[in-house]
């Protein structure tokens, strides 16, 4: 009976993502191991059931995150210096702490750096066998994706353009679009973006550029959902603007093709209140103006939002976040069964 009770406790802990098989095996078995290595068969059965339950649990949910890794480059440009080894290490530590199954990245310099990051994470025990990289018109900073699950379709959007002030503009970083197969019964489309920053542009007003990029991305989302409003779609990334602005409102959309703003916040107990809008949710710090703001978002289609696990979605809060990037990563958890 003690073993059954232990098993129940372990399963409860696993459901809260507080346990891993490395120590649960010892807890389940208790003193089943003899001095000469003989294992009680009942213990083996309990251990088998435990592991099967853990795999089942892992298969039922997955996580999607976004992280602007701030100038993750190997060659400087303008006044921007290459990412230091120490800063890269802090980025890697943040990603390992986040444990996202699918992670969209902004401000990656080259595919070589993405592979370097992929290998470094693997050395830390976090393996991403699948990746995507998008070459936009910006030759320095790019969009990328790391995934534990197969990327079954890739539709990089690097030719989207708009007219502004009599000039033709391409979306600077393009849009990353893929389909990810989580399991045999659950698949979703991911659209990642890094919209025009608030830094001054000498070609046109930076806010208008950002709004036009948002219009193009919003139109793509509408087309995806027009034929099937219940389609699983996640739109995420660094949108470089606030929720009240026209660009973000455009992305959220209206009607049956509108998106749901997940608005993750810090998961620390002293950071959460009964009023969700008062929870600490900032994702970016702008040094020049001494401003903390939320400009990194994860939006879900109405169909996918039904599978969203609100309590397991959060902004990663680490004391050394600023040593890695001027952004903090964001993650949401999704149940991998259509509802």
Q: Is the pLDDT of residue 50 over 80?
A: no
Q: Which of 208, 279, 219, 266 is nearest to 241 (CA)?
A: 208
What pLDDT score does 47 carry? 60
Among 11-15, 76-80, 298-302, 331-335, the least confident range: 11-15
* Mean pLDDT, rounded, for 241-260: 97
What pLDDT score does 13 carry? 46
Domain range list for the chain: 2-57, 62-335
Q: Is the pLDDT of residue 28 over 60?
A: no
- Which of residues 226 and 38 earns the better pLDDT score? 226
Residues 159-213 have pLDDT tens digits of 999 999 889 999 999 999 999 999 999 999 999 999 998 877 767 889 999 999 9
> Which long-range contacts (C-beta less than 8 Å, at least 24 apart) are formed by 307-313?
307/232, 307/334, 307/335, 307/336, 307/337, 307/338, 307/339, 308/260, 308/262, 308/332, 308/333, 308/334, 308/335, 309/61, 309/333, 309/334, 309/335, 310/262, 312/17, 312/61, 312/63, 313/262, 313/264
pTM of the model: 0.82
Q: Radius of gyration (Cα) for the chain, nearest Å? A: 22
- Alpha carbon distance 303, 308 (integer Å): 10
CB contact at 8 A, 40 and 32: yes
* Mean pLDDT, rounded, for 121-131: 99
Residues 269-299 have pLDDT tens digits of 666 666 777 899 999 999 888 999 999 999 9
Confidence of residue 6 (pLDDT cuts 50, 70, 90): very low
Q: Is the pLDDT of residue 83 over 70?
A: yes
* Mean pLDDT, rounded, for 252-275: 86
- Alpha carbon distance 76, 64 (integer Å): 30
Q: Is the pLDDT of residue 331 over 50?
A: yes
What pLDDT score does 285 carry? 97
What pLDDT score does 173 carry? 97
Residues 127-149 have pLDDT tens digits of 999 999 999 999 999 999 999 99
- Which of residues 36 and 276 earns the better pLDDT score? 276
For residue 177, count other CB atoms closer than 10 A to its CB. 23
Among 37-41, 131-135, 270-274, 307-311, the least confident range: 37-41
Among 27-41, 227-241, 245-259, 297-311, the least confident range: 27-41
CB contact at 8 A, 32 and 25: no
Confidence of residue 53 (pLDDT cuts 50, 70, 90): low
CATH architecture classification, 62-335: 4-Layer Sandwich (3.60)
Question: What's the length of the chain?
Answer: 339
Among 12-26, 181-195, 279-293, 307-321, the least confident range: 12-26
* Mean pLDDT, rounded, for 110-123: 98
């Amino acid at each position: 009976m003690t073993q059954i009770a232990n098993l129940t406790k372990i399963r409860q802990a696993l459901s809260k993502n507080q346990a891993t098989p490395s120590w649960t095996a010892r807890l389940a078995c208790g003193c089943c191991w003899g001095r000469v290595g003989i294992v009680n068969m009942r213990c083996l059965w309990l251990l088998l059931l435990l592991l099967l339950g853990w795999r089942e649990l892992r298969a039922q949910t997955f996580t999607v995150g976004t992280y602007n890794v701030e100038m993750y480059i190997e060659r400087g440009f303008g006044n921007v210096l290459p990412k230091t080894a120490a800063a890269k290490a802090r980025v890697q530590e943040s990603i390992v702490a986040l444990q996202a199954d699918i992670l969209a990245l902004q401000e990656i310099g080259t595919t070589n750096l993405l592979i370097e990051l992929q290998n470094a994470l693997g050395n830390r025990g976090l393996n991403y066998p699948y990746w995507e990289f998008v070459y936009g018109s910006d030759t320095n900073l790019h969009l990328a994706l790391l995934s534990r699950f197969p990327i079954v379709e890739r539709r990089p959007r690097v030719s989207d353009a708009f007219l502004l002030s009599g000039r033709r503009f391409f979306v600077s970083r393009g849009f990353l679009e893929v389909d990810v197969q989580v399991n045999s019964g659950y698949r979703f489309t991911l659209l990642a973006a890094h919209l025009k920053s608030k830094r001054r542009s000498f070609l046109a007003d930076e806010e208008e550029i950002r709004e036009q990029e948002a219009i193009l991305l919003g139109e793509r989302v509408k087309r995806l959902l027009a034929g099937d409003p219940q389609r699983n779609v996640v739109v995420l990334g660094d949108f470089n603007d606030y929720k009240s602005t026209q660009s973000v409102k455009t992305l959220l959309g209206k009607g049956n093709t509108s998106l749901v703003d997940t608005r993750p916040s810090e998961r620390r107990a002293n950071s959460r209140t009964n009023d969700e809008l008062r929870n600490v949710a900032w994702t970016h710090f702008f040094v020049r103006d001494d401003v903390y703001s939320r400009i990194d978002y994860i939006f879900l289609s109405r169909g996918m939002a039904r599978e969203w696990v609100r309590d397991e979605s959060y902004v990663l809060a680490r004391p050394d976040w600023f040593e890695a990037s001027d952004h903090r990563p964001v993650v949401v958890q999704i149940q991998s069964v259509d509802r």
